[in-house]
Amino acid sequence: MDWITQYCKEDIRYYLCHTDLTVKEVCTKLGFTNLSFFGSYVRKCFGVSPSALKKKRMAEK
């Protein structure tokens, strides 16, 4: 189960930080049931919201 979680976190980070997909598109692409759950999951894993993670990437460019 740990490796599934790790791969999921890596996919989230990749799609939010290295693509132009919207948060909703990433949520759908990775098979999350809804945007609210996806946001909660990302906050739990990364300590920030999906949009904040994406904005952080934009600031680094």
Domains, the chain, ordered by start: 2-60 (1.10.10.60)
pLDDT, tens only, 1-60: 788 889 999 999 999 999 999 999 999 999 999 999 999 999 999 999 999 999 876 666
Which residue type is seen at 20?
D
Alpha-helix residue ranges (DSSP H) falling in 19-61: 23-29, 35-46, 50-60
**What is the pLDDT at residue 8?**
94
Q: Which residue carries 């600031």 as its tokens? A: 59
